[in-house]
Structure 1
Amino acid sequence: MTDSDELVFECTLDAPPEKVWRALTMPEYLQRWLKPSQEIDMAVVTAEENVSLTYRWREAGQAAVVGMEDSLVTFELGPTTDGGTWFRLTHAPLVVPVAANSNQAIMLAA
């Protein structure tokens, strides 16, 4: 995978990692913070409390559509010296392009 295959956003937040973790994992907070559309299916793939969380992200009802890609959205958290949180969001496709002379896509195991 190349850097252009994923979207990465980094910043610091004025809240401790525990509070950011709650915003990412509790449905009522997640709804307010990320506002995921009803047309998005999200499922937890991996989680390490207060450190990292990965969701599988897919448009609802698209499971049977050929060529429709799932993606992974990963949140990484770390404490900052001032009590805040270093925050990194990575949104990456599960299908990685292969050589131009191939008509196949490789699926990454999640």
Structure 2
Amino acid sequence: MTQDDSAVVFECSLDAPPEKVWRALSIPAYLERWLRPGDDVELAVMAAQENRSLTYHWREAGQGTTGDTEDSVVTFELTPTAEGGTWFKLTHAPMAVPVAANSNIANATLMAA
């Protein structure tokens, strides 16, 4: 997995403490209301540090006629602020799969299918 220029990063300050934001991200009923992933999205936790960071494997049915799936990694980072709130950082990046060293493909990675 690599993070490159195709990653989308969003940062902001939230008035809620990290513990409250963590609950919104980690309890499925709250996550569904807050994030509203579509019916064609599958989420699986890849890594978690309670009240600090949470990384999901995000699999979404592809657009167009091929029906391929698109895999990406969504990471939420929570940092407490001096005012009792949370500095919130969301990074959504495509998931890359390493290519074998003897591959004829010019790029160093292939996008997961």
When the two structures are superposed, what TM-score results if normalisation uses the length of structure 1?
Answer: 0.79
Letter in 1 for 2:90: L
1:82-93 alignment runs, 5 A limit? 82-93=83-94
Aligned to 2:109: 106
Letter in 1 for 2:105: S
More strand by share: 2
Letter in 2 for 1:46: A
For the aligned residue pairs, the C-alpha RMSD in angstroms reads 2.9
After superposition, the C-alpha distances for 1:26-80 in whole angstroms (9 at most, x for unaligned) are 011111110111110000000000000000001159xxx7964310000000100
Aligned to 2:77: 76
- Contact 1:96/1:105 (8 A) holds in 2: no
Q: Percent identity between the aligned chains?
A: 61
Q: Secondary structure at the match of 1:69?
A: strand
When the two structures are superposed, what TM-score results if normalisation uses the length of structure 2?
Answer: 0.77
Aligned residues: 103
Aligned to 2:47: 46
The 4+ residue runs of structure 1 with deviation greater than 4 A are none
User: What is the distance in 2 between the residues matched to 1:25 and 1:67?
Assistant: 27
User: What is the distance in 1 between the residues matched to 2:57 and 2:12?
Assistant: 22
